[in-house]
């Protein structure tokens, strides 16, 4: 399609593009192209002070969303090049066909069960596309290889994982008690090369992928412990931060977490809560466990991470832990 364009040298191309966007003159229906060492940026009208010309440009093809095609919004997650449809999704086969036409989706799975069991996994079946359950997922400049039929993973915690990473500093000792394939541990290790990260995981398949992902992301400061968190933490002391992302049963491991934390250390505690009592009830239980261990807690942050089920929310409470003996002396 023929259009006016503004020519910019490649070393000024991005700056020129931003200037033209601010002026509201870039034709977003056409693709920017290169010619020799210059960028040709299609524009809607002539702008004084720029090198202008006329040329042919490819039109941008705007892909319709699954909701626009189907007439309703299907419930699914995309992890790498695999989409997982909710187990109760109506018209699942039709949804799978539509998703398979989307960019970067090569396989469509359907969850056959909810997330259950000791390892928090779910049964899945292939509805369309390549017959596989393993994928490579990119998040926060990290890469994770995983098998969606063997390990638990959700992309919906991407922002939450970065929030926690931003609270760490170089030199900290961080214990990830339920590490999975490593999305908390590896992000923190990559962001803070001088931090000491200890990743604990019980699921043998998750441990295998955790080890692979440590190598894949070239981090050298992650120690992996294969085993139950209660036993694994007996080797650890003096932690600055403990991440407890096992929201259905974290409370059962809280006493063990207290045992590895330094005085003044911080626990990032995940739980499930009803909308009628999001934080108070869980905080009371945390305080009771702390009291039995001769500790007191100071809440730092309370937040809803995501909706989980009707009236149920995945929440996080960040709290600092102090010895009552030391606090009484002060």
Q: Helix (H) and strand (E) counts for the chain? A: 10, 17
Q: Which fold has domain 66-132?
A: GMP Synthetase; Chain A, domain 3 (3.30.300)
312 pLDDT tier (thresholds 50, 70, 90): very high
Q: Which residues contact 2 (CB under 8 A, 6 or more apart)?
A: 54, 55, 56, 57
Do the two domains 2-56 and 154-329 of this chain adopt the same fold? Answer: no
Q: Given a cut of 80, is residue 286 above it in pLDDT?
A: yes
Distance CA 241, CA 311 (A): 30
Q: What percent of the chain has pLDDT over 90?
A: 79
In angstroms, the CA 265 to CA 321 distance is: 6
Q: How far apart are CA 273 and CA 307, in angstroms?
A: 10
Task: Give the per-residue pLDDT at 326.
Answer: 53
**What are the residue ranges spanned by the domains of the chain?**
2-56, 66-132, 154-329
Burial call 279-294: b when 16+ CB within 10 Å, e when fewer: beebbeebeebbeeee
The stretch 307-316 carries a mean pLDDT of 93
Q: What is the pLDDT of residue 298?
A: 97
* Separation between Cα atoms, residue 57 and residue 3, nearest integer Å: 7
- Look at residue 220 and tell me whether its pLDDT is greater than 60: yes
CB atoms within 10 A of CB 237: 11
Long-range contacts of 116-121 (CB under 8 A, 24+ apart): 118/202, 118/203, 119/151, 119/152, 119/202, 119/203, 119/205, 119/206, 120/152, 120/246, 120/248, 121/149, 121/150, 121/151, 121/152, 121/203
Strand partners, 322: 296
pLDDT > 70: what percent of the chain? 98
Query: Who wins on pLDDT, 48 or 137?
Result: 137
What CATH class does 2-56 carry? alpha beta
Banded pLDDT at 60 (limits 50, 70, 90) = confident
pTM listed for this prediction: 0.80
CA distance 157 to 245: 11
CATH number of 154-329: 3.40.50.150
Phi, psi of 244 (to 5 degrees): -120, 75
Give the pLDDT confidence score for residue 120 in this predicted structure: 84
Q: CA-to-CA distance for 270 and 178, rounded, in angstroms? A: 11
Lowest mean pLDDT among 56-70, 180-194, 215-229: 56-70
Question: What's the Cα-to-Cα distance from 63 to each of 58, 74, 86, rounded to whole Å?
Answer: 15, 17, 23
pLDDT for 327 beyond 60? no
The structure tokens 């997650």 sit at: 77
Q: Whole-number mean pLDDT of the chain?
A: 93
Phi, psi at residue 70, to the nearest 5°? Answer: -85, -25
């Amino acid at each position: 399609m023929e259009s006016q364009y503004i020519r910019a040298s490649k070393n000024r191309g991005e700056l020129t593009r931003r200037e033209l966007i601010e002026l509201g003159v870039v034709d977003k229906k056409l693709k920017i192209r290169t010619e020799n060492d210059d960028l040709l940026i299609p524009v809607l009208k002539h702008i004084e002070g720029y090198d202008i010309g006329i040329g042919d440009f490819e039109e941008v093809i705007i892909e319709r969303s699954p909701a626009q095609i189907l007439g309703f919004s299907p419930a699914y997650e995309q992890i790498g090049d695999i989409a997982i449809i909710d187990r109760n999704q109506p018209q699942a086969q039709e949804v799978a066909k539509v998703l398979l036409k989307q960019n970067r989706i090569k396989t469509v799975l359907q969850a056959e069960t909810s997330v259950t069991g000791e390892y928090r996994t779910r049964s899945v079946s292939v509805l369309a596309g390549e017959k596989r359950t393993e994928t490579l997922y990119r998040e926060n400049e990290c890469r994770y290889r995983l098998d969606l039929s063997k390990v638990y993973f959700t992309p919906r915690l991407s922002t939450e994982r970065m929030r926690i990473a931003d609270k760490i500093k170089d030199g900290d000792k961080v214990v990830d008690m339920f590490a999975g394939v490593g999305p908390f541990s590896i992000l923190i290790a990559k962001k803070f090369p001088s931090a000491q990260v200890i990743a604990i995981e019980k699921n043998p398949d998750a441990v295998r992928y955790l080890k692979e992902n440590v190598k894949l992301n070239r981090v050298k400061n992650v120690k992996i412990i294969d085993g139950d968190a209660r036993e694994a933490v007996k080797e650890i002391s003096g932690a600055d931060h403990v991440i407890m992302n096992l929201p259905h049963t974290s409370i059962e491991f809280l006493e063990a977490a207290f045992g590895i934390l330094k005085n003044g250390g911080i626990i990032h505690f995940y739980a499930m809560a009803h909308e009628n009592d999001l934080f108070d009830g869980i905080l009371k239980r945390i305080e009771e466990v702390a009291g039995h261990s001769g500790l007191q807690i100071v809440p730092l942050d309370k937040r809803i991470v995501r909706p989980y089920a009707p009236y149920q929310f995945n929440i996080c409470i960040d709290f600092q832990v102090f010895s009552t003996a030391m606090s009484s002396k002060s």
